[in-house]
Amino acid sequence: MKQRIIIVGGVAGGASVATRLRRLSEDNEIVMYEKGTYISFANCGLPYYVGGTILEKDALLVESVENMVKEFNIEVHNNREVVNVDPEKHIITVKNVLNGEAATDHYDRLILSTGAKPIVPKIQGLDQADNVFSVRNIPDVERIKNYIDAHIVHKAAVIGGGFIGLEMTENLADLGLEVTLVEASPQVMAPLDFEMAQFAHEQIELHGVQLILNDGVARFSDNGKTVVLSSGKEIDTDLTVMAIGVLPDSTLAQKVGVKTGIKGAIVVNEHFETNVPDIFAIGDVIEVKDFITGTPTLIPLAGPANRQGRFLADYLNGLDAKNPPVQGTAVAKVFALTVATTGKNERLLNQAGIAYQVVHLHPNSHAGYYPGAAPIELKVIYGEHGKILGAQAIGTEGVDKRIDMISAVMRLNGSVEDLQLIEVAYAPPYASAKDPINYAGYIAADQRQGLVKTIEWHEVDALIEKQAYFLDVRESFELAAGKLPGSHHIPRGELRGRMAELPKEQPIYVYCSVGLRGYNAARILALNGFEVYNLDGGLKTYEQAKYETGQMKTQPHLAAQSGSDSTTAQQAPQCTKIEVDACGLQCPGPILKVKQSMEKMNKGDILQVQASDFGFHKDIVAWANATGNQLLTNDIVGNKVVATLVKGVKASHDDAAHTLQAAPDTGGATTMVVFDGDLDKAIATFIIATGSAAMGKPVTLFFTFWGLNIIKRHANTKISKSGTDKLFSMMLPKSADHLPLSRMNMGGIGPKMIKKVMADKNVDSLAVMIERAKQLGVKMVACTMSMDLMGVAREEIIDGVEFGGVASYLGEAAKSNVNLFI
Amino acid sequence: MKYVIIGGVAGGMSAATRLRRLNEEAEIIVLERGPYVSFANCGLPYFIGGVIKERSKLLVQTAEKLYQRFRLDVRTKSEVTRIDREQKKVIIDHNGKSYEETYDVLILSTGARPMRPPIEGIDQADHLFTLRDVPDAEHIVQYLQQHKVDHAVIIGAGFIGIEMAENLAEHGLKVTIVEREHQVLPPLDPEMAIVVEAELKKHGIEVLKGKTVTGFDENGSILVLDDGMRKKTDLTLLSVGVVPESSLAEQAGLALGIRRSISVNDHLQTSDSNIYAIGDAIEVAQTVGGRPAVIPLASPANRQGRMVADILSGMKRSYKGTLGTSIVKAFDLSAAVTGLSEKLLQRFNIPYEALHTSPPDHASYYPGSAQMTLKLLFDPESGKVLGAQAVGKKGVDKTIDVLATAIHGQMTVNDLTELELAYAPPFNSAKAPVNLIGYASANLLDGNVQNVQWNEVDQLVKQGEMLIDVRTEQEYGNGTIQGAVNIPLDDLRERLSEIPKIRDLIVTCQVGLRGYLAARILAQNGYSVKNLDGGYKLYSSVFPEIVK
């Protein structure tokens, strides 16, 4: 039977339902009333039109009126507002917006797709302001563009830190305006949890926007030229965008007795039917069912609106279609970052009384060794049976992809176990063999099985206050960029040998920078009977959560002052400039790269380093301060941080030389012949070696006879040997771990004692000293002749040792002014 | 407990580290034949091409670090020459010296080796390379540095072949690819692969399809092809596929599966209950259809490594199968595939429906969007997704990853329409490519439209069906399929009288969307009509020479 179906509202849902209705039926009369001039325009593109990213207005017009008429045979009435409905008689009253003329029309079915309208609160002074705008449709953004063209506009204020507010902030900043963003709650982007929103806060400030949180607009004064906030703070502005949210535009519905619910949203059943016969509703104006809680909610997003339009058309044509519950998957570009979410966040789960667990991780967007990799800050929230309840992700690349996959897993009520099993398309430019979502699944599954217990960032401060035992398992040099106050430090690699230092009677809270080494350490300790917790997300999540807005200087593109008192070494022409790419580096990441590069440089040389992790921006400031190097610039360039440093006059090799007092550089080299293989002598050797190397001297250690035992590798490499070689092998210590003492050896008790004393006094173990010596560029040479005599094979010697004869020793000794025989 | 793991890359190292995290006391020995463990083999082509500049970046872990962190006893250059199942020990060769190591549990992660077909003259051929590990890559890099290399020939246009073609071309070499099949990238269906082929040619690579190398002449500097062509080469890469490295398992009498892969149960256990096997060497079940297959990919290998450690540590786990999601970069394009291809569905006699779309990766009004070609294969009864392929400049990985997730979740095309994907103009369209292909597939499933494929249309036209091109006059004028008449969509309703009711109709447009609209109009007016799936765009990319 031929029907006349009238649609009120010609954007998103309205356009979708109209075209689908036509595709399913050639017979029906399909009529669209739109109060604006344009139908089916791309409202999500509006901010980018203001910013000039989208140049042509026409690009925003998805379907023209002409096309709707010709291609789809739809009767389109734009500039026509439906002002009343007579549900009994099935008649609508229509007002011509241009000339006020009224008309009526008859419908068999009426579809309301009236959308949502920006909230414009009654604020004192708003009526006198001619420079306050909201962003809902094309005329709105044209007004903004025209205003900018016709007036001198330097400063802009955006009120509201939701998606539109942020997009407008970015686009106005792109136009070169000085932008202030005001948000009444403690964070922008409500779908994020606070610690995740902090990444956005930092990003916003890094791009020169003034961010004011926890403050609302009290009034406008000076014809809108001044925004007065609740705190009394005043903001000068030439242009203000109000983006504090939207409300369902249900005036017409309410007028004709259609039942409404939350914030006036139209209540519909799963077939989009309202309480009034033959009146249906779709899009931002309706209440939808929340995917997680099953309760009614408002989720004004384009994706669901389009889907609803299509499904309603299906239903009206007798197909099986129901309005699916909505997860609220969303994404926004925030300067260089992509911020995406799906499902529920912690705040909403707490409100709903749903129990959950979370994991935070910071995996690379693709294989770290392939150029351009950048970290993704990922948070996954799961509930009973591991069912995924929500996820949040932030980064410069691959963020939308991961949230889309997690959203798809959620759609079928998938669990964290499913996340482990998703087979992602992997090649180095796209992903890692273990994709971020696999990792999230692995970590969560381990949590669920009790393999690791975690604490969250927000529990840390209370624990510190209670003097809980925090154990930092990062490498020594990482501590320069910050650590938890009062924490103890044992690098993860040394943990097995130093467990005696740890308390058995109280819980140990382990942390590293991103959580991975912490997890490994937690496993070791748990398997050794300790009560241990790992800090989820590591120091990175905790420190980001502690980010303080408003601390950044107003010109963040300029160099932050490194607090060092080094002389203002400007770029001397004779200085070498070294460029380093630290993008996509695995933890400990860019700082290690900087440290290693700096060590190869001379005082006054300049290092330029780029990193894809925005956290580097603050890490490098702290590191430069702690190490006495001078930070010249610290800029955001595209989606990277680019910093330049001058190697400082008093630049030390961080803590490498902490066992020695720094001494003036006397030039010359140090050589040592290491003849004996006793533990105490070995320790002395490496203290002197690392000390001299830290002072910038070339150091060569020449290992001969018993001294070779010091540089044997740990692994008990089985090598077939014959006769005397075999005998020697059995009698000699296997590696540096097994060396005797020169005095008080006492059948091996002595070495154990000294190792404990070293550990207690926080002196590095010999193995660590050897490793550090290597990092500092200490040259180690094993004497090939004595190796032959002692029956030591090359495979038994640790990596990084050169092989040479007496000539190589003499050559080095000739250049040195310190020459020792140990 | 003493675990001995043979093979220290991907799966082997995943198993070892996970075992340690779960068992602090266990003795864990990793025996690696080569000089390096845990290296990034997927990065090798990019190391050769100079995209990855430092070799050290490929070396994910060293034996020293693995000892320090995980107390793993990692022994490089240690090749297991024999497994003694009776005595539960392995015999190891290290620099020509032999010793034994006993085990409680043995894990085989022996990988796969490049196939080396018995081509005449192959053993005398110089500068013939395969690419499996870091030393292989180093050989190629050294060769490029030390010799004047102008022309490279790559035999085999699979993933590694394509990656090497790109990297050698970026290096300034003239590159020829010889492929036995009549398409590049055999895991893809031909109409999808042709897009990649065009990209290769655009970047100056010569593609010789349907040809095999029958001989190496003049010490390998001349390749002889089956059609008699003689191809000069300064460097030849053999990348015709890999075979499971199962000789140890075979010698030990373990059960083998297809292509001499190692047979395992769903606990990754071989026919000897003390021996497990993982990675490229094993036979797996295909997620779609459940047939046995060998799927040598890094992600499944890593997953299996972790899982075998879980199983050995008493956790409840079972390996259900491999989907086979993979992706390759070919210059500016990405090509990705998941699940089964149309070719495999045909070979296995699995009923399917195929559908092609050409969506933009993100809202076309936002700068930088690019169209991709997307193909979905699904069950014509249940609508269950069986496979997908995508080729394009952007969004290919995301689209295929979401579809891989959908197949994992056993979704139907109707489920695809309900997927809620993150939308803002820079990232997606309000109707994402996955949603759109779900809608289009649901239309087929519901009988709203019938499709005809790119390789069927010519035959049907020959049989007398009427082909209507519903694009604009201008588009039609720029080229159409032979025999097509032009009735633009906008005029269709007015010009119905021109179309005889007795004839079966095929409609086509550029990508299939307007064709679908036309088909709906015609069907509702009583015509028997089919829409050309993928439209003129797909047809003309496969048959560029026969379009008008």
A676-680, A695-699, A715-719 — which is least confidently predicted? A715-719
Q: Which of residues 437-496 of B touch A (CB under 8 A)?
A: 439, 446, 448, 489-490, 493
Model pLDDT for residues B327-340, shown as the tens digit of each residue: 999 999 999 999 99
| Residue B69 dihedral angles phi and psi, to the nearest 5° | -80, -40
Range B352-356 average pLDDT: 97
Is the pLDDT confidence value at A653 over 60? no
pLDDT of A503 higher than 70: yes
B417-467, pLDDT tens digit by residue? 999 999 999 999 999 999 999 999 999 999 999 999 999 999 999 999 999
Q: What fold characterizes domain A336-451?
A: FAD/NAD(P)-binding domain (3.50.50)
CB contact under 8 A, A433 and B425: no
Any catalytic annotation for residue B509?
Answer: no
- Asked if B409's CB is within 8 angstroms of A412's CB, the reply is yes
Give the pLDDT band (50/70/90) at residue A675: confident
Chain A positions in Cβ-Cβ contact with residue B101 (cut-off 8 Å):
718
Are A451 and B516 inside 8 Å of each other by CB? no
Same structural domain for residues B249 and B102? yes
Over the stretch A67-102, which tens digit does the pLDDT of each residue have?
899 989 999 999 999 999 999 999 999 999 999 999
Contacts of A622 (CB under 8 A, 6+ apart): A480, A481, A482
pLDDT at A809: 73
The pLDDT tens digits of the residues spanning A104-130 come to 999 999 999 999 999 988 999 999 999
Q: Which CATH superfamily is domain A132-244 in?
A: FAD/NAD(P)-binding domain (3.50.50.60)
- Residue B190 belongs to what domain range? 122-202+211-238
- In a shared domain, residues B223 and B249: no
Candidate from B418, B422, B439 with C-beta closest to A330: B422
Tell me the chain B residues in contact with residue A44 when contact means C-beta distances shorter than 8 Å. 363, 423-425, 430
| B166 and B22 housed in the same domain | no
- Given the candidates 3.40.250.10, 3.90.105.10, 3.60.10.10, 3.40.800.20, the CATH classification of the domain at A454-545 is 3.40.250.10
Report yes or no: A517 and A472 within 8 Å, Cβ to Cβ.
no
Shortest Cα distance, chain B CAs vs residue A24, angstroms: 7
The minimum CA-CA distance between B230 and chain A, rounded to whole Å, is: 34
Residues A420-467 have pLDDT tens digits of 999 999 999 999 999 999 999 999 999 999 999 999 999 999 999 999
Q: Minimal CA–CA distance to B404: which of B416, B392, B414?
A: B416
Taking CA–CA distances from A497, the nearest residue in chain B reads B68
Q: Inform me whether the pLDDT recorded for A693 exceeds 50.
A: yes
B80 in the same domain as B126: no
Contact criterion met (CB < 8 Å) for A409 and B431: no
Report the chain A residue with the minimal C-alpha distance to residue B31: A717
DSSP letter at A585 equals P
Q: Is the pLDDT of residue B376 over 80?
A: yes
Nearest CA-CA distance, residue B491 and chain A, Å: 8
Closest Cβ–Cβ partner in A333, A367, A430 for B397: A430
Catalytic residue selected from B26, B42, B298, B363: B42
Q: What is the CATH number of the domain that holds B460?
A: 3.40.250.10
Q: Are residues B234 and B247 in the same domain?
A: no
Percent of chain B beyond pLDDT 70? Answer: 100
**Does residue A562 carry a pLDDT above 70?**
no
Output the DSSP codes for A765-799.
Answer: PHHHHHHHHHHTT-EEEEEHHHHHHHT--GGGBPT
Domains held by chain B: number: 4
> Which of B457, B474, B455 lies closest to B465, judged by CA?
B457
Residue A569 pLDDT > 50: no
On the question of a common fold for A132-244 and A454-545, the answer reads no
Residue-averaged pLDDT of chain B: 95
Question: Taking CB atoms and an 8 Å cutoff, what residues of chain A touch B71?
Answer: 496
Does the reported pTM lie above 0.80?
Answer: yes
Q: Return the closest-CA partner of residue A507 out of A541, A475, A542, A466.
A: A466
Interface of B with A in 10-39 (CB under 8 A): 10, 21-25
At A651 the pLDDT is 45
Establish, for the pair of chains A and B, how many residue pairs have beta carbons separated by less than 8 Å. Answer: 275
| CB nearest A799 (choices: B64, B408, B517) | B64
Assign A586 a pLDDT band (cuts: 50, 70, 90). low
Measured between beta carbons, the chain B residues lying within 8 angstroms of A331 are: 422-424, 427-428
Among B397, B517, B525, whose Cβ lies nearest the Cβ of A23?
B517
Residue A455 backbone phi and psi in degrees, to 5: -115, 155
CATH number of the A4-117+248-316 domain: 3.50.50.60
Contacts of A424 in chain B (CB under 8 A): 299, 325, 401, 404
**B255 is a domain residue:** yes
The CATH number assigned to the domain holding B37 equals 3.50.50.60
Structure confidence by residue, pLDDT tens digits, A507-557: 999 999 999 999 999 999 999 999 999 999 999 999 999 999 988 754 444
List of chain B residues whose C-beta atoms are within 8 Å of the C-beta of residue A333: 424, 426-427
Between CA A551 and CA B158 the distance in angstroms is 54
Instruction: Report the pLDDT value the prediction gives residue A504, as an integer from 0 to 100.
Output: 92
Q: What average pLDDT score do residues A654-677 get?
A: 57
* B340 touching chain A per CB within 8 A: no
* Alpha helices, DSSP H, located in B51-189: 63-70, 134-146, 159-170
- Which tokens go with A711? 């540089």
- Do B75 and A717 lie within an 8 Å CB cutoff? yes
Can you tell me the distance from the alpha carbon of A599 to that of A676, in angstroms, rounded to the nearest whole number?
30
- CA-based nearest distance B413→chain A, Å: 13
B425 with A48: Cβ contact below 8 A: yes
Which range among A143-157, A679-693, B361-375, B473-487 shows the weakest confidence by mean pLDDT?
A: A679-693
Catalytic residues of A: 44
What is the ipTM, given to two decimal places?
0.94
Domain parsing of chain A, residue ranges:
4-117+248-316, 132-244, 336-451, 454-545, 548-655, 669-821
Provide, as residue numbers in chain B, all residues whose Cβ is less than 8 Å from the Cβ of A325. Answer: none
Residue window 186-245, chain B: list those with CB within 8 Å of chain A: none
**H or E segment and range at residue A315:** helix A302-316
Interface contact B402-A408, CB threshold 8 A: yes
Residue A135 · residue A119 · CB < 8 Å? no
**Minimum mean pLDDT range among A260-269, A807-816, B406-415:** A807-816
Termini Cα distance of chain B: 72
> Which among A369, A400, A411 is the nearest to B43, CB-wise?
A369
Q: Which positions 486-525 of B are in contact with A (Cβ < 8 Å)?
A: 489-490, 493, 514, 516-517, 520-521, 524-525
In terms of pLDDT, which residue wins out, A473 or A605? A473
**The CATH number, out of the four listed (3.30.590.10, 3.90.79.10, 3.40.1260.10, 3.90.1150.10), of the domain defined by the range A669-821:** 3.40.1260.10
Helix (H, G, I), strand (E, B) or coil at A234: strand
Q: Are residues B308 and B399 in the same domain?
A: no
A180: pLDDT strictly greater than 70: yes
CATH pick for A548-655 out of 3.30.110.40, 3.40.640.10, 1.10.10.10, 3.40.50.720: 3.30.110.40
Residue B375 shares a structural domain with residue B226: no
Q: What is the DSSP letter of A659?
A: T
